Chains A and B, each alone.
Chain A
Amino acid sequence: MVMFWVTLLAISILLYVLLDGVDLGVGLLFGLARGETRRSAMLNAVAPIWDGNETWLVVTAVILWGAFPVVYATLLSAFYLPLIIMLMGLILRGVAFEFRYKTQRMRWIWDLSFAGGSLIATFVQGLTVGVLVEGLQVTNGQYSGGAVGWLTPFAVLCGIGLCLGYALLGACWLAKKCEAEVRDVAHRQIPVLALGVLAFLVVVFAYALAENLPILHRWIERPYLFVFPAIGAVAAIVLALSILRHNDHWPFYTVALIFLSAFGTLALSFWPYMIPFVITLDEAAAPQSSLAFMFWGCGLIVFPLMLLYTIISYSVFRGKVRATAGHY
């Protein structure tokens, strides 16, 4: 039963990162784009999906609370300010989607909150991963890092890294969904961002070596973990080839695969810990009666239906978005 909920949690987090990563990334690139035609085409490429994408964040939160309450309580309270700032970023960019079309004069406010909100939310998510990799400071089962314990150079680096990563994902999505200028710009951005992500990975690895992070030892103990980076490397090569050929679709799939391999790498190097070296899965799991109650009423049928619903929404929305399509 614990394994069942770990699996659902992993699927939800992965879906969130991949799906919302796309529209957060588009939000980041939106801040760089000039001109209403381009901006509106970029928004149209994510407008129908962003809300559904963010649902997976809520799903992640409730699975965490219901199935692993200790982790929910520890993480959310440790990341107090960054988390609340992230939520506000998500809210601002969410309503910006809707409100920017209601006004001409104040549109710049909503454009600013869309790009700014995306930037804040992405940065905080990267920061969180960075802190977890470095090791959350916990004493007697309680976070003891202080109000800004999450603000370390490594965590900031990871925040920047995720901004590059989501922007890459977003650019690949735009190349896939758009036409004309937006697509051409995306094609120019993809190699720059891909190199940026590569540089980030090198720096992170060097930093981890230099600081002798405990997580690195897991890699020496478990050589089979290198399968995931290998998948990532292969995907990166395919990505490079598809960039050279100006393919519209392959960059997206390969970048998604790189994200998948990064997620797998992190998840398995944490295993069996949920918060590295503090709380294991079994310690964190809710009592059997809670897990079973959720299994029958939510996990068994409703969760697969939610996955199905997501697949249907995406397939309805397949194909290129017309560049001329206005929002109104």
Chain B
Amino acid sequence: MDMTALLLSRIQFAFTITFHIIFPSFTIGLAAWLTVLEALSFATGRPVYRVIFEFWLKIFGVAFGMGVVSGIVMAFQFGTNWSVLSKMTGPIQGPLLMYETFWAFMLEASFFGVLIFGRSRVPPWFYLFSTTMVALGTTFSAFFIMVNNSWMQVPTGYVLENGVFAPDDWTRILFNSVVWSRFPHMLLASYLTGAFCVAATGAWYILRKAYHAESRIMLRMGLGLAAVLMPIQLFYGHLNGIYVNTYQPSKMAAIEGRWNDEKPGSEVLLAWPDVEHRRNLFAITLPPPFGSLIDSDSLTAAETGLNSIPPQNWPPVVIPFFAFRIMVGCGLLMLGLAWLGSYLSYKHRLAYNRPLLWLTFFSFPLPFIAIITGWFTAEVGRQPWVVFGVLRTADAMTPFLTTSQAMISLAIFCSVYAFIFLFGTYYIYRLIRTGPARKPFEIPHLVVPNRPMSLADELIEEPSHAGAGE
């Protein structure tokens, strides 16, 4: 076993999946947002909703295309770097990813075609139905991915036969209790991502005094949705904490920076975990029973500390500890912003409050950071296991993978991804800066359902003289 190759493989997986999750979390949220817009347009008949819908449909196309492209790599990476894992868990993970691929293909690809071509060819109710189906398709994708990952967190419904995890109860795998707190958590995170991106775009236009009607609708709806969803998200986050505490005490102890068993537990708010000496430096701590209250909904429950877990089963403590705090911090910032913004919006004062508009504009990275750090908490916290408690990450790697191979592949991934990511992000930025089109929507030439990005085909030649463009 080549330990450097193992580390590089883990970095490579983390890099590619982090890159990938940015796009699906955005598109799941946008698909739901498009459905809401289309429903409003259908119900009220106001043209402004149509204009906003068509604007965001273009951005959806680009983000969706980037998600598909970066997702192809994921379908292969289990086999290339983690061949022992894919051989052992293939009978369970393979079918789940097959459901994801097949159902997504069926719903997203076919109904996305209707969204592009169908406006003048299908009745309005069918167009609305198609929008809903695209949103449902992205939701199905998220569901099967969450079922798959939840099985790796809390494996169930299998028997070990000849070194292979053979499924013996699919209902337990699909209706794993953990799925039902994690899937809504991810779904809400995606909706919040959509909401904040929409609100930030609206705030930007107001600051630029552009698109008067559209910008106000985007800002109000984005912040309003976030104001409602954020508390629900915090509740589901809490439910996730309960499952982690029940099934993965090592992850919980790392997240909480808890070294000793406590009954009832205290709660470390901030600290620097000193792993070598098994203590927290500069700790700000709430006294017992706050730890038990937060982790177990109880005033008296005993909480496990890392000292009672063998060190070879510890995750890297520092990463989940801080990733979790960054996630929660982003969540609380979003909650404050959404509530304050919605209150001011209700009082009709938001559009004149430039500091808050600037804050809203700059808030769009928050949901992305929260999602990525949330996944870091879940995945790094699961270590040293790839299938919790049953299969170690170190035993799951392709045994003959060498450091030089892993180094080359990681370098290739980083450079190619950086290249296309920069261009894709720049392109989305140009689309958003240009803003919604007031003229009637024309289907660009040669647009087809299989090419989501083609919806936004137009030359975005960089301005040839500095200063041009606004």
Which of the residues A48, A55, A142 comes within 8 Å of B446, measured between beta carbons? A48
Are B95 and A293 within 8 A (Cβ)?
yes
Note all chain B residues with C-beta closer than 8 A to A103: 459-462
A118 within 8 A of B: no
Which of the residues A75, A90, A309 comes within 8 Å of B109, measured between beta carbons? A309
Are A47 and B454 within 8 A (Cβ)?
yes
* B162 closest partner in A (C-beta): A287
Q: How far apart are the CA atoms of A80 and B79 in the complex, in Å? A: 9
Q: How far apart are the CA atoms of A83 and B78 in the complex, in Å? A: 12
Q: Which of B42-50, B367-375, B379-387, B397-405 contacts A (4 or more CB under 8 A)?
A: B397-405
Note all chain A residues with C-beta closer than 8 A to B457: 98, 101, 327-328
Are B449 and A95 within 8 A (Cβ)?
no
- Contacts of B75-133 to chain A: CB distance below 8 A: 75-76, 78-81, 83-84, 86-87, 89-95, 97-99, 101-103, 105-106, 109-110
A306 within 8 A of B: yes
* A146 closest partner in B (C-beta): B400
Are A143 and B106 within 8 A (Cβ)?
no
Which of the residues A47, A62, A294 comes within 8 Å of B451, measured between beta carbons? A47
Q: For the complex, would chain A's binding face be called helix, strand, loop or mixed by DSSP majority? A: helix
Smallest distance from the beta carbon of A290 to chain B beta carbons, Å? Answer: 4
Q: Which of B89, B90, B164, B420 has the most CB of A within 10 A?
A: B90
Q: How far apart are the CA atoms of A302 and B137 in the complex, in Å? A: 13
Are A47 and B460 within 8 A (Cβ)?
no
Which of the residues A50, A54, A69, A81 comes within 8 Å of B87, measured between beta carbons? A69
Question: Known contacts being A58-B75, A287-B161, A328-B457, is A73 close to B446, with CB within 8 Å?
Answer: no
A76 within 8 A of B: yes
Q: Return the CB mask of A41-68 against B: 1 if under 8 Å, else 0.
A: 0001001111110110111011101110
Question: Known contacts being A95-B420, A101-B459, A290-B92, is A298 close to B164, with CB within 8 Å?
Answer: no
Q: How far apart are the CA atoms of A328 and B447 in the complex, in Å? A: 10
Question: Known contacts being A54-B72, A90-B72, is A59 close to B404, with CB within 8 Å?
Answer: no
B429 within 8 A of A: no
Q: How far apart are the CA atoms of A70 and B79 in the complex, in Å? A: 10
B409 within 8 A of A: yes
Q: Which 5 A-B pairs have the closest CB atoms?
A: A69-B90, A76-B79, A66-B94, A77-B83, A65-B94
For the complex with contacts A59-B105, A325-B445, 11 further pairs of A-B residues with Cβ separation under 8 Å are A44-B446, A51-B68, A52-B450, A73-B83, A88-B413, A97-B451, A98-B454, A287-B164, A294-B98, A302-B102, A317-B448
* Chain B residues within CB distance 8 Å of chain A: 65, 68-70, 72-73, 75-76, 78-81, 83-84, 86-87, 89-95, 97-99, 101-103, 105-106, 109-110, 161, 164, 166-168, 170, 398-402, 404-405, 408-409, 412-413, 416, 420, 423-424, 427, 444-446, 448-454, 457-462
Pull 12 A–B residue pairs with CB atoms less than 8 Å apart, ordered by A: A51-B68, A51-B451, A52-B109, A55-B109, A65-B78, A65-B94, A70-B87, A70-B90, A95-B420, A98-B454, A293-B170, A328-B445
